[in-house]
Amino acid sequence: MPYRYLHVSLLAIAAMLPGLGSAQSGTPNSLKSGASATGVAVTNTSGKTVYANLVLGQPPVTPPAGCSSLGTQIVSLTDARLAFTSSVAGKAVSFTPVTGVSDKGSYAMAAGETITYTPQTFACGSAQCSAAVTFNFFFTPSDDGFSNNNGCSNSVFPNATNLAEASINFGVNGSVGTSCANADDTDISAVNGVNAILKVATSGAGWPAATSTAQNGLLGSNANKPGVFGWAATNCSGSQANAGYPNPSAACAAPKKAPLAKGNPAGCKTPGGSSYAPIVAPDGTQYCDERSDAGTCNNQRDAYVTGGTIQITYVKQAY
């Protein structure tokens, strides 16, 4: 999942990247006999109320070549299939939409609360399918997650915000074609910045062990963390890691805690010792993007393998 831009325009790139595997052309991609769809649980372990802000990924306008149908995807908070239950007895889970849109909204989570998305199934031909969905969660201590949140440093979000992302059930959503999205995928994106410590854990068949647990740290410490895209490292690792970063720019300030380049002349190094050029902001400040040595920033499951529950945890505010 290489690119992480503004929260208001997050898209399901992970969902559009085919995993390894194949499906019979013309036959809807569906659940294997005896298999179940993948669910998601979100837990607040911080000891304080926090707002879970959700952005739903959107499908492309047209299917890619080799994919005659994108299948079914949940793209609106008003979709009845987007059903969460709470661990708090008697509490209904409802995300309050941002005025004028249906794909972004917030929900106040109590201390210790877990909300769980349990996917539904539907008939697709002679098999069963489940709607795909891409969750992009970020967390704020007050209900201002969508207030002036444009991926830049500002008075509301001095260090921007980071995301826990999960794309699920694209391999079983009734899509048709061998190049349709077909693999569950997770990551934590600190590309814009970091406001919270988040954790994403996956378990079960088909997940790579090396990236099955991801947890971001403070700015300056996210390079080489499995399953984490560091600040400004939109392509994770290598010479193109910071191509297309959202900040800093003339219109988008860097996080206040963004890592500064050191030395004279200033330079940057990966944790493994590889040197790379700093980012130079319009005001001349030089920064080191959080570039990894190896491309393990996202966690992609084997194609067409589903089931189990992805656990997203809000640990605490970072600063």
Q: How many domains does the chain have?
A: 1
Picking from 57, 51, 44, the residue whose alpha carbon sits closest to that of residue 7 is 57
Inside any domain, residue 100: yes
Inside any domain, residue 213: yes
Inside any domain, residue 248: no
C-beta separation of 100 from 70 below 8 A: no
In whole angstroms, give the CA distance from residue 294 to residue 13.
20
Inside any domain, residue 253: no
Inside any domain, residue 285: no
C-beta separation of 173 from 29 below 8 A: yes
pLDDT for the residue numbered 25: 53
Domain hosting 146: range is 1-237+293-319
What is the dihedral sign for C-alpha 295, 298, 304, 308?
A: positive
Picking from 74, 130, 90, 84, the residue whose alpha carbon sits closest to that of residue 107 is 84
Inside any domain, residue 269: no
Q: How many residues does the chain have?
A: 319
Could you identify the residue written with the tokens 């926090």?
Answer: 50
DSSP letter at 127 equals E
pLDDT for the residue numbered 105: 98
Inside any domain, residue 179: yes
In whole angstroms, give the CA distance from residue 157 to residue 150.
9
pTM: 0.93
Three-state SS for 22?
Answer: coil
In whole angstroms, give the CA distance from residue 314 to residue 44.
5
242-288 pLDDT, tens digit per residue, is 888 899 999 999 999 999 999 999 999 999 999 999 999 999 999 99
Picking from 168, 138, 120, the residue whose alpha carbon sits closest to that of residue 309 is 168
Inside any domain, residue 243: no
167-197 pLDDT, tens digit per residue, is 999 999 999 999 999 999 999 999 999 999 9
